[in-house]
């Protein structure tokens, strides 16, 4: 069996990053407590805005290549609640999240996660 060890892998031109093929890594993610509105952890997140009970907007450091050409997966600590991305006012660098209870009322929950995949600009 062979072992490959490397600190840096670049494209054949010697300078460009290697393009992933048949893979798609998360380009942004967020863990946030909506009850206290504090960010627990994040990646490629410039800021998070509270836009009302059960709703937030994540602004990314690096923009996506086009509006709506990404996929957002959301979940919450309240497993019976409906957690989804918030389609209003999205841009290439702003994606919203909302959490609603079974009665479809917006609610703040303590542990919420969003992961976004897609091509960055």
pLDDT tens by residue, 80-106 = 778 788 777 789 999 999 998 888 899
What is the C-alpha to C-alpha distance for residues 41 and 56, in angstroms, rounded to an integer?
A: 15
68: left (phi over 0), alpha (psi -120 to 50) or beta: left
Task: Pick left, alpha or beta for residue 17 (phi over 0 → left; psi -120 to 50 → alpha; otherwise beta).
Answer: beta
Spell out the domain ranges in the chain: 28-118
More confident: 25 or 60: 60
At 32-87, the pLDDT tens digits run 999 999 999 999 999 999 999 999 999 999 999 998 888 889 888 876 778 788 77
Query: How far is residue 64's CA from residue 72's CA, in Å, rounded to a whole number?
Result: 12
Which has more pLDDT, 28 or 68? Answer: 28
Q: CA-CA distance, 15 to 3, in Å (whole number)?
A: 24
Contact 115, 26 (CB under 8 A): yes
């Amino acid at each position: 069996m062979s072992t490959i060890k490397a600190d840096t892998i670049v494209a054949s031109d010697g300078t460009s990053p290697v393009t992933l093929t048949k893979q798609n890594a998360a380009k942004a993610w967020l863990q946030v407590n909506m009850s206290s509105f504090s960010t627990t952890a994040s990646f490629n997140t410039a800021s998070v805005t509270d836009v009302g009970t059960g709703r937030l907007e994540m602004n990314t450091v690096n923009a996506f290549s086009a509006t709506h050409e990404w996929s957002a997966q959301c979940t919450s600590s309240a497993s019976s609640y409906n957690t989804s991305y918030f389609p209003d006012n999205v841009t290439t660098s702003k994606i919203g999240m909302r959490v609603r209870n079974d009665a479809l009322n917006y609610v703040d929950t303590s542990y919420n996660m969003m992961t976004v995949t897609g091509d960055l600009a």
